[in-house]
Amino acid sequence: MIRYVYTFLLILVAPFLLFGLYKKKSGKPSFGPRWKEHFGRTPPLKDQSTAPIWVHTVSVGETIAATPFIKQLKEKYPDTPIVITTTTSTGAEQAEKLNDIAEHRYMPLDLPFAIKGFLRSIQPKMMLIMETELWPNTIHYVAKSNTPITVINARLSQRSAERYAKFPSVFKLLSNGITRILCQHQSDADRFKQLGVPPEKLAVTGSLKFDIIIPPATIEAGHQLREQLGTERSVWIAASTHNGEDEQVLAAHQTLLKTHPNALLILVPRHPERFNDVYQLSNTLGFNTAKRTQPQSDFSQVQVYLGDTMGEMLILMQAADVCFMGGSLLGDKVGGHNLLEPAAVGLPCLIGSSYYNFTDITNQLTEVKAAFVCQNSHEIAMHLTSLFSSEGQRLNCKNNAFTVLQRNQGAVQKTVSNIKLF
């Protein structure tokens, strides 16, 4: 009964969800005629030699994090096709980079007819869900088709666990269809267990995101960009900022300029539809602002460099000396973003006080003083001034971050070893 009510409600809100999904945005790839795949009109795979492994990664971040795992999974099962599904077109663009070892299809909506259409066409032998993207109808019909479901890189925050605890019947509906849950941390496994998941379904394999590999081409592109921006100046990046944070970031930059007048801020809004608004804001506040999409030969007078492209965050980070991670200055609205990418390129990290989505990673980095929590723009500016005044401090942050990364690596191998074809 719960699932029927859920399906009815989903039908009511689907038009609004689809409007947001298909709405044209600057820098966002078009779905083109492939929009039909969201409704179960899924083309068969080119390789139909045997039933494929289905990996669902939602969007860009999950696809990037799953990439080393997917490559190693293919090495383990070279004769088994792999299909990657994403919901978003930006995720699809990232998944296409793996087209030599896997095919991409769009994830069908969580409606019975769409899920059934996908299953008829693809006929997977196993479904792997990245993190905790759990959809009731998907899990029901995949399990009903006798296809085992494993959640990989699973995390369950205390906040989410408390919400599920209020609706135990809903969580039971989801968890009953899942075969295995491979958790990032023991605390995640403990929370799943408290919600009633049998211990034999649980394993702790670590976070795939710690096994991040920075491609040499990305490192080189970052170095080239830094040469253009200026190697002798102080450069920091504010990554994945949300509406309401840009003003605080720019205020911190204004303060920094008093002690480091040649400093440069690389400002990268989280959502592409905000690129133009943030550009106008920066100009209105009096900063000499340049866009990445508008190349120029002289950056000597540029104070703010707007990263108005998609898929280049690591390149932009590689060109910086310090990173502030957005989504963390807005109270409980967002809950922060992942600090592992800036840590992996050796950047000292700053983050606001709201980072509940990445508590473990952030705490590990702050404990070794590779990252610092800032309550407001004043504290951001204070830490920036300190870091830019001491190359030794920045180097210590870099080494400490690498220590955290190294002691947490190995999740890819542990996760792959837990994937066994039935």
Q: How many CB atoms lie within 10 A of CB 40?
A: 19
Give the phi and the psi of residue 149 in degrees, each rounded to 5.
Answer: -120, 125
| Rounded-to-integer distance, Cα 175 and Cα 171, Å | 6
104 phi and psi angles, rounded to 5 deg: -110, 140
- List the one residue out of 36, 200, 48 whose CA is nearest residue 125: 48
Q: Is residue 21, in this structure, part of any structural domain at all? A: no
Q: Do 83 and 174 lie in a common domain? A: yes
Could you tell me if 183 and 295 lie in one domain? Answer: no
Q: Are residues 205 and 289 in the same domain?
A: no
Identify whether residues 254 and 365 lie together within a single domain. Answer: yes
Based on the domain organization, do 238 and 341 belong to the same domain? yes
Distances (CA, A) of 270 to 32, 38, 47, 138, 336: 23, 24, 36, 29, 11
18 lies in some domain: no
Does residue 96 have an active-site annotation? Answer: no
* Residue 422 maps to a domain: no
The boundaries of the domain holding residue 203 are 28-212+410-417
Residue 341 to residues 314, 316, 337, 349, 398: CA-CA distances in angstroms? 7, 11, 10, 10, 12
Separation between Cα atoms, residue 59 and residue 271, nearest integer Å: 13
pLDDT means over runs of 10, the chain (422 residues) = 84 84 74 91 91 91 88 95 92 88 94 96 96 88 95 89 86 88 93 93 92 90 97 97 97 98 97 92 97 91 95 94 97 90 96 91 95 97 97 97 93 94 73
Query: For residue 135, how many other CB atoms are within 10 A of its CB?
Result: 20
- Identify whether residues 143 and 282 lie together within a single domain: no
How many structural domains is the chain composed of? 2
In a domain, 118, yes or no: yes
224 and 141, same structural domain? Answer: no
- Centre a 10 Å sphere on the Cβ of residue 386 and count the other Cβ atoms it contains: 13
- Residues 222 and 187: their CA atoms lie apart, in Å, by 36
Shared domain for 373 and 242, answered yes or no, is: yes
pLDDT of residue 134: 84
- Distant-in-sequence, close-in-space partners of 133: CB < 8 Å, separation ≥ 6: 56, 58, 62
For position 206, which CATH number holds?
3.40.50.11720
Which residues have C-beta within 8 Å of that of residue 405, sequence separation ≥ 6? Answer: 210, 212, 340, 343, 344
Instruction: Output the pLDDT for position 21.
Output: 83
Domain shared by 205 and 336, yes or no: no
Report d(CA 55, CA 151) in Å as an integer: 10
- For residue 288, being part of any structural domain is answered with yes
pTM of the model: 0.79
Beta-bridge partners for 325: 239, 351
Distance between CA atoms of residues 146 and 141, nearest Å? 9
Report the SS3 class of residue 120. Answer: helix
Quote the DSSP letter at residue 309.
S
Residue 105 contacts residue 35 (beta carbons within 8 Å): no
Domain co-membership, 156 together with 269: no
Q: Give the CATH number, domain containing residue 252.
A: 3.40.50.2000
User: Which candidate in 62, 131, 245, 341 is catalytic?
Assistant: 62
Return the pLDDT at 422. 64
Q: What is the pLDDT of residue 350?
A: 98
Residue 22: what pLDDT?
78
Asked if residue 344 is part of any domain, the answer here is yes
Is there a single domain that holds both residue 230 and residue 201? no
C-alpha neighbours within 13 Å on the C-beta side of residue 213:
11
- Whether residues 33 and 146 fall in one domain: yes
pLDDT of residue 265: 98
Whether the Cβ atoms of residue 402 and residue 277 lie closer than 8 Å to each other: no
pLDDT of residue 355: 93
SS3 420: coil
Whether residue 1 is contained in a domain is answered as: no
User: What are the start-end ranges of the H helices in 127-167?
Assistant: 136-144, 158-166
Residue 346 located in a structural domain: yes
